[in-house]
């Protein structure tokens, strides 16, 4: 048994090492048995624009397979489409290939997740002029808040691999038989973005829920879908930071709400600048020890100093000195006369 287990682990490591990067190498791996069938559930209406549907799926955790509820997920950037993950069979192992964000929907094993993901591509909607237009033939939406919609069922048969199938894996005994076509192979070479942080938190929360495991619910999870949409990213995705033209405006995702939010966000900044100016001005006037010059001196100089300046300029003492000197010279001249008159006697 130990030898067989060691050989399986070595084979598993070999498979993980050769999985191409574009397909986002496996995270959860089950050895020996396939994931349970996909349960049937009703999609909740999309509550607001800019949300994409992430189908529910079976993940693998410490206690076996557990159900990750389907959820409405905010698109991380304008033009983003979600490609679901899938279980693929190879050499006796069922390997999980995680989903990703991209400009086009790629290969997901031909698994029929429903709601526009019928096995090939995606028919749930499309992006146009910065807005996502929802196909009401596939997705339920709140038409009071979502204006960009249409109705089209023409491509359902062309994008369906196995109608009515609940098989949750590709290849192997009883699995879906669909190899990637030319378009899906091209999408694999595109630039992909991994799931968002809130999607990861959503999966981790399901893994911690004991009722989500197949061993406890026997294929009938209590929470088939998330009641509320996942939260939005607080920071833009790397695609938006690169400054692509279609990724500049975030307002189409929120149907104008982001514009209002941006104006609200600028208001505190203006208020902060005003407060900083108000605080910076008293610092200039609260320095009496520093000598003031120019207009500041005229405004801040006290009144007594202004009155004393003419007295300093007049300098009466300097003008009186010549008179005193003249008087002194007069006395000096008078004395010799008195003395000469005395000698004459």
Q: Is 100 a domain residue? A: yes
Q: Is 139 a domain residue? A: yes
Long-range interactions of 172-181: CB distance < 8 A, separation 24+: 172/34, 172/89, 172/94, 173/34, 173/89, 174/34, 175/34, 175/89, 176/109, 176/110, 176/111, 176/112, 176/119, 177/110, 178/109, 178/110, 178/119, 178/120, 180/107, 181/120
Q: Is 340 a domain residue? A: no
Query: What is the reported pLDDT for 345?
Result: 36
∠ CA 65-90-57 to the nearest 5 degrees? 30
- How far apart are the C-alpha atoms of 11 and 115, rounded to whole Å? 36
Range of the domain at 107: 2-257
Query: Is the Cβ–Cβ distance between 93 and 10 less than 8 Å?
Result: no
Q: Is 307 a domain residue? A: no
Q: Is 345 a domain residue? A: no
Query: What is the reported pLDDT for 119?
Result: 96
Q: Which residues contact 31 (CB under 8 A, 6 or more apart)?
A: 8, 12, 92, 93, 94
Indicate the Cα dihedral angle 334, 335, 338, 341, nearest 10°.
-100
Number of domains in the chain: 1
Successive 10-residue mean pLDDT values, the chain, 345 residues: 48 44 47 88 95 96 95 96 95 91 96 96 95 96 94 90 92 94 92 94 96 95 94 55 40 40 39 39 44 48 49 51 44 42 41
Query: What is the reported pLDDT for 66?
Result: 96
Q: Is 186 a domain residue? A: yes
C-alpha distances (whole Å) from 190 to each of 139, 183, 184 are 26, 11, 10
Query: What is the reported pLDDT for 287?
Result: 45
Query: What is the reported pLDDT for 231?
Result: 83
CA–centroid distance for 206 within its chain: 24
- How far apart are the C-alpha atoms of 66 and 212, rounded to whole Å? 5
Q: Is 140 a domain residue? A: yes
């Amino acid at each position: 048994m130990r030898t067989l287990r060691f050989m399986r682990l070595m084979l598993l490591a070999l498979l993980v090492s050769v999985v191409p990067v574009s397909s986002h190498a496996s995270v959860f791996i089950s050895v020996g048995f396939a994931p349970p069938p996909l349960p049937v559930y009703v999609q909740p209406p999309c509550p607001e624009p800019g949300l994409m549907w992430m189908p529910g799926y079976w993940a693998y955790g410490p206690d076996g397979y557990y159900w990750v509820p389907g959820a409405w997920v905010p698109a991380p950037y304008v033009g983003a489409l979600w490609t679901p993950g899938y279980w693929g069979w190879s050499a006796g192992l069922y390997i999980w290939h995680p989903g990703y964000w991209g400009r086009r929907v790629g290969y997901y094993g031909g698994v029929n997740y429903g709601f526009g993901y019928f096995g090939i591509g995606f028919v749930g909607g499309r992006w146009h002029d910065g807005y996502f237009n929802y196909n009401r033939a596939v997705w339920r939406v709140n038409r009071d808040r979502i204006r960009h919609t249409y109705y089209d069922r023409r491509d359902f048969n062309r994008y369906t691999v196995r109608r009515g199938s609940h098989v949750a894996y590709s290849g192997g005994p009883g699995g879906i038989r669909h190899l990637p076509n030319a378009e899906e192979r091209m999408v694999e070479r595109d630039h992909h973005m991994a799931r968002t942080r809130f999607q990861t938190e959503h999966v981790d929360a399901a893994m911690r829920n004991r009722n989500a495991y197949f061993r406890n619910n026997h294929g009938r999870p209590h929470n088939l879908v998330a009641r509320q949409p996942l939260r939005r990213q607080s920071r833009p995705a790397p695609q938006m930071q690169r400054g692509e033209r279609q990724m500049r405006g975030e307002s189409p995702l929120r149907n104008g709400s982001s514009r209002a939010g941006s104006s609200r966000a600028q208001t505190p900044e203006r208020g902060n600048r005003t407060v900083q100016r108000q605080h910076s001005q008293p610092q200039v006037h609260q320095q009496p020890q520093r000598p003031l010059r120019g207009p500041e001196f005229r405004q801040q100089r006290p009144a007594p100093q202004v009155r004393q300046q003419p007295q300093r300029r007049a300098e009466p003492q300097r003008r009186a000195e010549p008179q005193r000197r003249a008087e002194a010279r007069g006395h000096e001249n008078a004395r010799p006369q008195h003395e000469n008159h005395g000698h004459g006697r």
